[in-house]
């Protein structure tokens, strides 16, 4: 029906708090630096959140092995205390735009699942130096072992990502944007700098229809150029469009895309 999580601290510490305004989140919030006392009733954040301890050590609160269970948010729990907040299980959902599945009605419980299962870990990562947080692998270590038997298609690598670069290409004889010339330029850049992939983010297909390539994008020419340069293509898609059109067995927690 619910889960009680309370984190009682020794003082009114600062919290790097990715505050949310809705339980529907794209997990892209700005981190606000707040005292615990400033996190008043009704305010909540997604995870991970980070607490600054008295001597400067950092305490990061997050989760691991989260499957078939609601993600935990963080909210006020009284003096020097933070509580877990769990959204109730959706009874009815409505599709908003091509990527947001909003909950219209909720059940009286947070999960309908097997009682014999292992439940998600609540993870506390303590680090004396901020840099140590970058290298921690505790979430990976606490995750369940993969059930995949064929992993040969997984080839890790570095990417040139058009979205992060904001398609900012200068000094070229074409207009940069979501178009064939720009993607060929990214492919050339990846090949010249030893990057294994480029990502084609939002815009390469008509939103709502994976089978309709956007005007100005010649996918066959892009794929041929990538193959010639030995650069892989990673295609960004909206999870709900993929689910509706290709019938893939994806499950969604609260992520918008």
Q: Mean pLDDT across the stretch 212-219?
A: 95
User: Residue 247's pLDDT band (boundaries 50, 70, 90)?
Assistant: confident
Query: Is 127 buried (19+), middle (13-18) or exposed (0-12) by CB count in 10 A?
Result: middle
The proportion of the chain whose per-residue pLDDT surpasses 70, expressed as a percent, equals: 96
The alpha helices in 161-208, defined as continuous H runs, are 162-165, 180-192
Residue 137 has pLDDT above 70, yes or no: yes
User: Residue 246's pLDDT band (boundaries 50, 70, 90)?
Assistant: confident
Distance CA 108, CA 87 (A): 10
CB atoms within 10 A of CB 51: 21
Ramachandran quadrant class, 230 (left: phi over 0; alpha: psi -120 to 50; beta: rest): left
Distance CA 61, CA 3 (A): 16
Q: Taking Cα atoms as reference points, which of 73, 75, 109, 63 lies closest to residue 90? A: 109
Residues written for the chain: 257
pTM: 0.82
CA 170 remoteness from chain centre: 30
CB 162 within 8 A of CB 170: no
Q: Which residues of 1-19 are buried (b: 16+ CB within 10 A; e: fewer)?
A: eeeeeebebeeebebbbbb
Give Cβ neighbours of residue 97 (< 8 Å, ≥ 6 apart).
Answer: none
Query: Which is more confident, 248 or 205?
Result: 205
Per-residue pLDDT tens over the stretch 150-180? 999 999 999 999 998 888 898 999 999 999 9
User: Residue 248's pLDDT band (boundaries 50, 70, 90)?
Assistant: low
Structural domains for the chain: 6-142 (2.70.98.10), 159-246 (3.30.750)
Distance CA 51, CA 34 (A): 10
Distance CA 49, CA 155 (A): 31
């Amino acid at each position: 029906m619910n889960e009680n999580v309370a984190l009682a601290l020794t003082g009114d510490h600062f919290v790097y708090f990715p505050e949310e305004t809705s339980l529907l989140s794209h997990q892209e919030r700005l981190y606000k630096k707040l005292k615990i006392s400033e996190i008043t009733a009704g305010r909540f954040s997604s995870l991970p959140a980070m607490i600054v301890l008295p001597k400067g050590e950092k305490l990061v609160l997050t989760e691991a092995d989260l499957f078939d269970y609601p993600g935990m948010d963080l909210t006020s729990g009284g003096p020097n205390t933070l509580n877990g907040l769990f959204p109730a299980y959706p009874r009815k959902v409505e599709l908003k735009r091509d990527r947001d599945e909003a909950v219209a009605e909720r059940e009286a419980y947070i999960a309908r699942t097997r009682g014999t299962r292992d439940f998600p870990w609540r993870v506390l990562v303590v680090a004396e130096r901020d840099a140590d947080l970058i290298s921690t692998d505790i979430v990976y270590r606490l995750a369940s072992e993969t059930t995949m038997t064929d992993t040969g298609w997984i080839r890790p690598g570095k990417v040139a990502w058009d979205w992060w670069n904001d398609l900012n290409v200068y000094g070229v004889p074409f207009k940069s944007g979501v178009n064939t010339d720009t993607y060929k330029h990214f492919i050339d850049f990846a090949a010249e700098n030893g990057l294994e992939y480029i990502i084609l983010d939002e815009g390469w297909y008509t939103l709502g229809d994976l089978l309709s390539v956007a005007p100005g994008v010649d996918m066959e020419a892009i794929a041929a150029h990538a193959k010639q340069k030995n650069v892989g293509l990673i295609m960004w898609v909206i999870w709900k469009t993929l689910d509706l059109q290709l019938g893939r067995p994806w499950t969604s927690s609260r992520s918008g895309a």
